[in-house]
Amino acid sequence: MTAKTLSVFYGTIIHSQSLTELEIIENGLLIVDRTSGVIQRLERNVSNPEDALKDLDASTYELHKMSPHQFLLPGFIDTHAHAPQYVFAGSGMELQLLDWLNANVFPVESSFASTDMARKSYTKVVSRFLRNGTTTCSWFATIHLEACKVLVDIIRELGQRAYVGKVNMDQNSPDFYVEKTQESLDATRAFIEYTLPHGPLVTPVVTPRFAITCSSTLMKGLSALASEYKVPIQTHLCENHNEINFTCSLFPDSKHYTGIYHDHGLFTASENVYMAHCVHMDDDEIALLKENNVGISHCANSNFSLQSGVCDVRRFLESGVKVGLGTDVAGGYAPSMLDAVRSSFFASKVQLMRHRDELNKPDYKVLGTTELVYLATMGGARVLGLQDTIGNFEQGKAFDALFVDLDLANSPVDVMGHENKTQLLEKFIFNGSDQSLAHVFVQGRRVAGAASVPL
| Same topology between domain 6-74+391-449 and domain 76-384 | no
Q: Give the per-residue SS3 of 231-295.
A: CCEEEEECCCHHHHHHHHHHCCCCCCHHHHHHHCCCCCCCCCEEEEECCCCCHHHHHHHHHCCCE
Q: Which residues make Cβ contacts (< 8 Å) with residue 434, sequence separation at least 6? A: 131, 132, 133, 336, 450
Q: Which residues make Cβ contacts (< 8 Å) with residue 395, sequence separation at least 6? A: 39, 40, 41, 42
pLDDT in tens, 25-41: 999 999 999 999 999 99
Q: For each of the chain's 455 residues, which pLDDT tens digit applies?
A: 457 899 999 999 999 999 999 999 999 999 999 999 999 999 999 999 999 999 999 999 999 999 999 999 999 999 999 999 999 999 999 999 999 999 999 999 999 999 999 999 999 999 999 999 999 999 999 999 999 999 999 999 999 999 999 999 999 999 999 999 999 999 999 999 999 998 899 999 999 999 999 999 999 999 999 999 999 999 999 999 999 999 999 999 999 999 999 999 999 999 999 999 999 999 999 999 999 999 999 999 999 999 999 999 999 999 999 999 999 999 999 999 999 999 999 999 999 999 999 999 999 999 999 999 999 999 999 999 999 999 999 999 999 999 999 999 999 999 999 999 999 999 999 999 999 999 999 999 999 999 988 88
- Categorise residue 144: left if φ over 0, alpha if ψ from -120 to 50, beta otherwise: beta
Question: Could you give the CA distance from residue 394 to residue 25 in angstroms, rounded to a whole number?
Answer: 13
Residue ranges with strand state E in 88-242: 134-140, 161-165, 167-168, 202-204, 207-208, 233-237
Question: Could you give the CA distance from residue 226 to residue 408 in angstroms, rounded to a whole number?
Answer: 45
Query: Domain map of the chain by residue range?
Result: 6-74+391-449, 76-384
Claim: this prediction has a pTM higher than 0.85: yes
Can you name the CATH fold of 6-74+391-449? Urease, subunit C; domain 1 (2.30.40)
What CATH number does domain 76-384 carry, 3.30.360.10, 3.20.20.140, 3.40.50.920, 3.50.50.60? 3.20.20.140
pLDDT in tens, 396-454: 999 999 999 999 999 999 999 999 999 999 999 999 999 999 999 999 999 999 998 88
Closest CA to 286 of 309, 307, 311: 311
- C-alpha distances out from residue 258 to 200, 241, 246, 289, Å: 31, 14, 13, 8
